[in-house]
Amino acid sequence: MELSPFGYSPHSSSAAPMASFLSGAATSRLLARTSTAARLSISPSPSSLRSLGSSSASSLLQSRLLLRQRRTSLHVPSVFYSGIASTKCAASAPEQLKIAKEDIKELLKTTFCHPILVRLGWHDAGTYNKNIEEWPRRGGANGSLRFEIELKHAANAGLVNALKLLQPIKDKYSSVTYADLFQLASATAVEEAGGPKIPMKYGRVDVSGPEECPEEGRLPDAGPPSPANHLRDVFYRMGLNDKEIVALSGAHTLGRSRPDRSGWGKPETKYTKDGPGAPGGHSWTVKWLKFDNSYFKDIKEKRDEDLLVLPTDAVLFDDPSFKVYAEKYAADQEAFFKDYSDAHAKLSNLGAKFDPPEGIALD
């Protein structure tokens, strides 16, 4: 059996074996009761048998017996046929979401994991393909990134560490789906780093197994031959536009690139050699745990070789359409925050199936 990264079966919760046993036992008891009831209903009394002296009386008895059998027949749900209970995809409990958010805030204070939590939410949602209607084949924010097969995609290198950080919270709040937890953690990380409040909604349904993970290749590369075309190919497929591409790129104000994971950047710089958190990596900004518009300022000024600029970063000031927004955000942090907040919320909903359909608001 293929297992998830944390040793649980990817097809069901850790309680599924017990649920399966109980389901089978309950079914046996129900069927036994049904059989007993049926036997009682088809056993006429001796006096009634003696009174049946004609064929018409016999026919009447048979009709009554058949009617009673129909009344005592029991419909057994198909979930019990194999003795294995299927996993029900359920929406998250609002009260647990609220408390989980507080736990995420505490996690951020002690681990400084803001950047990787933002990335986790993005990469779960960023597989969405607007040209595919069927859920979950269309990809998007559905919790599929918890499975090993998707974690092994090259673009997701290192994200197993984010899952390890969040798994205790998931264990604690079992009525929060992975899909919601990933997006809750991502939005909370932005807000706690000083970024804008993001108008989130919850109630995303989880996929149930690794066979529902998207194929590799839906996420953007850092150094494609034609950066502008590549960004548009990937983000237009999600239904996003040039303004949203540039605004979302601004989240690189948080975090570092590690060459052992992405193949980009330096092992460490003067800004990362002492942490906080695990030392090393190559950051896009000086204060790489503060969410602001310095990403755009630093790319525009090109003043520090210890700050990372990927081909997909530089193109924001080279492409005429992208440049309009990049210049605007470099000059106006409030405008950046507004557009980023809207774009992040839109990204977090891509491809998701909500229960209830309108979603759940926490505020």
- List, for residues 292-311, the tens digit of each pLDDT value: 999 999 999 988 999 999 99
Residues contacting 12, CB < 8 A, separation 6+: 19, 85, 86, 87, 208
Tens-digit pLDDT profile for residues 66-123: 444 443 333 333 222 222 233 444 589 999 999 999 999 999 999 999 999 999 999 9
Bigger pLDDT: 7 vs 228: 228
Residue 49 has pLDDT above 50, yes or no: no
Tokens 């557009």: give the residue: 339
Residue 197 has pLDDT above 70, yes or no: yes
**The whole model's pTM is what?**
0.76
- List, as one string, the DSSP characters of 181-202: HHHHHHHHHHHHTT-------B
Residue type, 171: D
- Backbone phi and psi for residue 158, each to the nearest 5 degrees, phi listed first: 90, -15
Active site (catalytic) residues: 123
Residues contacting 162, CB < 8 A, separation 6+: 113, 116, 117, 119, 120, 185
Residue 210 · residue 148 · CB < 8 Å: yes
Q: Can you give the pLDDT at residue 266?
A: 95
Residue 166 · residue 314 · CB < 8 Å: no
Q: Which structure tokens are listed for 276? A: 């906080």
